[in-house]
Amino acid sequence: MSQLPLLELPQHTITPAPEPDLCDYDIVVVGLSGKDGVTALMEMAARCRAAGVFDRLWTVHADLGLMEAPGVHFEGRYYPSNRELVALQSTYFGVPASRHIETHRTVLDGTTWRDQTLIEYVAMKGMFPDAARRWCTSDLKSTKIKAALTPLVRHLRKQLDRPVRILNVLGLRADESTHRAERPTYQCTTSNQHRHVDEHLPCHHFSTAQVWRAIEDSGVPYHWWYDSAPGRGDRAGASRLSCSLCILGSKGDSILAVRRRPRLAALYHEVEQRTGHLFKLDLPMSRLLKLAAQPGGPDPGVVLDEQNPEFDALEARVRRHLDQPVKLKASTAHTTDPGCLACTGCG
């Protein structure tokens, strides 16, 4: 059997090999949001079963509330939101609901804690995130997921009397960007006295077509946002899924989102106007609204009116922040650095 050169072996990972041995880990956790995450789950569910460690498999979703691809009633049927769908996908592959974790960014409002979603946070900071300052991912996803695992880590740490070994599985793929192509498929990301975390990308080599084929073959439900309209099954809608209006999304996906969610787009526009900071340097919301109003481009398939108390409350909170001096202001400079072309965990 041919040996890999020593330099190609991952450094400091629990398994000293190019691929993790799942039996080496106490927790295998798969981040879910979109087609790539569910493909990674499919892969890991099969591998965990084969290794006899399926009871160590967990799923996690960092919920972004009203920013996420929503649920919709269409032609007499309900199509679930991204948050609802990932829970269904987790169950579909046999992970019990007790091992599916959902995280949220929460803030203290008076004496009660409540969820805070991205556009409110943007209004509070007075700036949108961008490719080089993707605090949306770090503050609303990565740190929340890490914190959500802490109780489990504490519990296992006592039992094991050593750092808890976590395999963090992501659906990132090489063909999404040069940056992602260069990302190791197995690497150590955290090591301290409480937890050792290795990251693994089991679908790194998959093409988009392979991802869709795997989803189709497995029969797992996917989000309607990818289709031209709910239930069409043609995957002629958005190419990616997570925040409907993503600061790193393509022009086509952004126009589609503006057409599907005009109330959300109007709120982004208001924030852009009031803060003076652009949603995207090359494609501000003011321009996107004009493009979406012109003929041509993606047909929304369905237009959500989103006239509901939840949205009213979000809008009121956003406006309250816009009326106050910015508390968290940092640099408002924009960058076009294409370091990472999409959110970790969305796909």
Of 129, 202, 230, 301, the one binding ligand SF4 (CB under 6 A) is 129
What token pair was written down for 329?
Answer: 């202001």
CB of 3 to ligand SF4, least distance (A): 39
Of 117, 185, 242, 254, the one binding ligand SF4 (CB under 6 A) is 242
Of 14, 149, 169, 247, the one binding ligand SF4 (CB under 6 A) is 247
Q: Which of 148, 116, 347 is nearest to 253 (CA)?
A: 347
343 binds ligand SF4 (CB under 6 A): yes
Closest to ligand SF4 by CB, 10 vs 129, is 129
- Span of 8-16, 34-42, 242-250, 285-293 interacting with ligand SF4 by CB under 6 A: 242-250
User: What CA dihedral angle connects 304, 285, 257 and 143, to 10 degrees?
Assistant: -100
Q: 161 CB contacts (<8 Å, ≥6 apart)? A: none
What token pair was written down for 206?
Answer: 């998959």
CB of 120 to ligand SF4, least distance (A): 13
Pairing type for strands 106-109 and 164-169 reads unpaired
Dihedral sign for Cα 169, 175, 176, 178, please.
positive
Within positions 132 to 161, which residues make up the interface with ligand SF4, using CB under 6 A?
A: 134, 136-137, 140
CB of 329 to ligand SF4, least distance (A): 19
Closest to ligand SF4 by CB, 136 vs 164, is 136
- Comparing every residue's Cβ against ligand SF4, the nearest one is 343
Of 57, 153, 285, 346, the one binding ligand SF4 (CB under 6 A) is 346
15 binds ligand SF4 (CB under 6 A): no
Q: Which of 239, 261, 236 is nearest to 248 (CA)?
A: 239
C-alpha pair distances (Å), 77 with each of 71, 74, 83, 97, 230: 11, 5, 18, 24, 9
Closest to ligand SF4 by CB, 89 vs 137, is 137
User: What CA dihedral angle connects 108, 114, 115 and 120, to 10 degrees?
Assistant: -60
Of 57, 246, 256, 318, the one binding ligand SF4 (CB under 6 A) is 246
103 binds ligand SF4 (CB under 6 A): no
DSSP 141: I
- Span of 77-85, 149-157, 163-171, 239-247 interacting with ligand SF4 by CB under 6 A: 239-247
CB of 344 to ligand SF4, least distance (A): 8
What token pair was written down for 159?
Answer: 């039992």
Listed in sequence order, the DSSP H helices in 197-276 are 208-218, 251-260, 262-275
Q: What is the secondary structure of 80-118 as a DSSP string?
A: --HHHHHHHHHHHTT--GGGEEEE--EEEETTEEEE--H
Closest to ligand SF4 by CB, 233 vs 339, is 339
Closest to ligand SF4 by CB, 13 vs 242, is 242
Closest to ligand SF4 by CB, 20 vs 129, is 129
- What is the contact surface with ligand SF4 in residues (CB under 6 A)? 129, 134, 136-137, 140, 242-243, 246-248, 343, 346
